[in-house]
Structure 1
């Protein structure tokens, strides 16, 4: 349990469960293609039939080449077209920090090496559901995002507000709401009536969803942070409340990018610590998470 300044404890769940060519028309009359006769035109449908037959009788070709292309455009698609927003190189670089341990990673059997991270070649888009946020809550979220961005080197891009509410199993691809791209990370203020996971003394939940392209490493494609609005509003009533609320958001965002809880109470990722700023172990782990692999195939 992470206890903000001894005021309100919290723990974090980590679900594994997101040139127009106006054109000047040419003054010249466009060339007219000659009408062609023979097998070129009459054979085009036949070629299509042959291709369909080849795909039908060689399901491996269909599975490996045709289906990945058409799948994002089928009804109830579960993933966007691959490579949306991907650059050819990482958009930033993590800071150089001393690695003395003191961190653990989500979804990784090796405590010293992350197995899953966000793709550094694309921005981490995020949106905020501000309903019920306490006074100043929006500013604290912005500060927390900036802190995680600086510690990882990942580029976070604000996408404004959303009406999407949190969910225990959030869909990572929501084309009707966010278009044909992975859903942005959701940061939502809520309470236990909306999300039972906030019951008791839990004031924050955070985690991300991993996906994998064939032959490529797993990467996180989206995630969510859920903040207990009533509980954190009470924390803000204390003289150092803002620092503890900011630390709560940073803690949950660190879960989103891939840090897990640790046993060292001097680190922010200790579930019951009162630390309000990132410590050496937190920073070392976050720097590793910012050096993940680019996977444009997703």
Structure 2
């Protein structure tokens, strides 16, 4: 039989629920209406005993759900009421024992306070050094930068984390980028420290450079900055100064002092004039990077760290002995 338009066809065994159900203005029947109608017809076909059993089961499930909800609410209320008391006890304990607060609470809270001066501790830190300094004879001929602690022989970068470097390329002579890469590779090989190219930056060099700049570099110590500049921007380059290099020292509690960041400022006009001998320009960059890592000037003109280079283009044995020691500094994961 061909059904007429608008009529419904019912097959044997089907429940015809479409004839007497509510429809939407569009004429469609919502699914929940169909399910409700089917349930009514199903119950209509049940005996009174079956309907009572079904009703008792539904009532039992509802009571169990209500009891579980009541227990959950009571647990949450107890926890909520206990939270202020726990907080007051902790604050009182920290107030009575400020050493505990300074040692455990403050290092966690400090990086997230306004105008924080240090990042969260241990960023990118490994349990063991990630590089190995070369084995060289300690023949002397080097000098370390002055340590804030007279009992600490030297200050170095943490060998358990990478040393990140950014470059401001403004005013760089042609080929300057390649010379920086070669110089960084040379000091990495001489120390075992693992350097990471963190790209370029627009940050200008400054004698008061902030070691922590989260808005620019994220929640970690600022990378070492290498910038081509001149005496107009950086007055310390005035006179017969081809470059400057140095680092910022930090420590935590009574632990060893370590370098956390630094900068190399290169005099672009004078070094551009020296580009006929690029190996000399590379030597200047290596010299300043060695300052950043912790070597000071020496009195021996046979070392690259002599204050007035006499034409050397590579590290000498004394330079290498000092750099190898600087590559074996202390790991300070709490900094």
TM-score with structure 1 setting the length: 0.84
Q: Is residue 114–residue 288 contact of structure 1 (8 Å, CA) maintained in 2?
A: no
Structural mapping, 1:230-241, within 5 Å = 230-236=269-275, 238=276, 241=277
Q: Where does residue 94 of structure 1 map in the other structure? A: 133
Could you tell me how far 1:114 is from its partner in structure 2? 4.2
Q: Does residue 321 of structure 2 align to residue 284 of structure 1? A: yes
Q: Does residue 259 of structure 2 align to residue 220 of structure 1? A: yes
Structure having the higher Rg: 2
Whole-Å Cα distance in 1 between the matches of residues 145 and 190 of structure 2?
17
Whole-Å Cα distance in 1 between the matches of residues 235 and 183 of structure 2?
24
Could you tell me how far 1:45 is from its partner in structure 2? 2.0
Q: Where does residue 307 of structure 2 map in the other structure? A: 271
Q: Is residue 191–residue 198 contact of structure 1 (8 Å, CA) maintained in 2?
A: yes
Q: Is residue 120–residue 293 contact of structure 1 (8 Å, CA) maintained in 2?
A: yes
Larger fraction in helix: 2
Q: Where does residue 90 of structure 2 map in the other structure? A: 51
Aligned partner (choices 118, 127, 151) of residue 190 of structure 2: 151
Q: Where does residue 121 of structure 2 map in the other structure? A: 82
Give the superposed CA RMSD: 2.0
Q: Is residue 154–residue 294 contact of structure 2 (8 Å, CA) maintained in 1?
A: no
Could you tell me how far 1:52 is from its partner in structure 2? 2.4
Identify the structure with bigger relative contact order (alpha carbons < 8 Å, sequence gap 6+).
1
SS at match of 1:34: helix
Per-residue deviation, residues 122-158 of structure 1 (Å, max 9, x unmatched): 0000000000000000100000000000000000000
Whole-Å Cα distance in 2 between the matches of residues 165 and 86 of structure 1?
27
Residues 1:79 and 1:266: Cα distance change in structure 2 (over 3 Å): same
Q: Is residue 114–residue 289 contact of structure 1 (8 Å, CA) maintained in 2?
A: no
Per-residue deviation, residues 141-187 of structure 1 (Å, max 9, x unmatched): 00000000000000000000000000011110000100000000000
Q: Does residue 331 of structure 2 align to residue 294 of structure 1? A: yes
Q: Where does residue 73 of structure 2 map in the other structure? A: 35
Could you tell me how far 1:282 is from its partner in structure 2? 0.5
Whole-Å Cα distance in 2 between the matches of residues 175 and 109 of structure 1?
26
Whole-Å Cα distance in 2 between the matches of residues 156 and 103 of structure 1?
22
Whole-Å Cα distance in 2 between the matches of residues 70 and 286 of structure 1?
36
Q: Is residue 133–residue 189 contact of structure 1 (8 Å, CA) maintained in 2?
A: yes
Whole-Å Cα distance in 1 between the matches of residues 148 and 260 of structure 2?
20
Q: Does residue 286 of structure 2 align to residue 250 of structure 1? A: yes
Q: Where does residue 210 of structure 1 map in the other structure? A: 249
Residues 1:80 and 1:110: Cα distance change in structure 2 (over 3 Å): closer
Q: Where does residue 99 of structure 2 map in the other structure? A: 60
Aligned pair count?
264
Per-residue deviation, residues 33-71 of structure 1 (Å, max 9, x unmatched): 833347444222222222223333443332232212100
Q: Is residue 208–residue 257 contact of structure 1 (8 Å, CA) maintained in 2?
A: yes
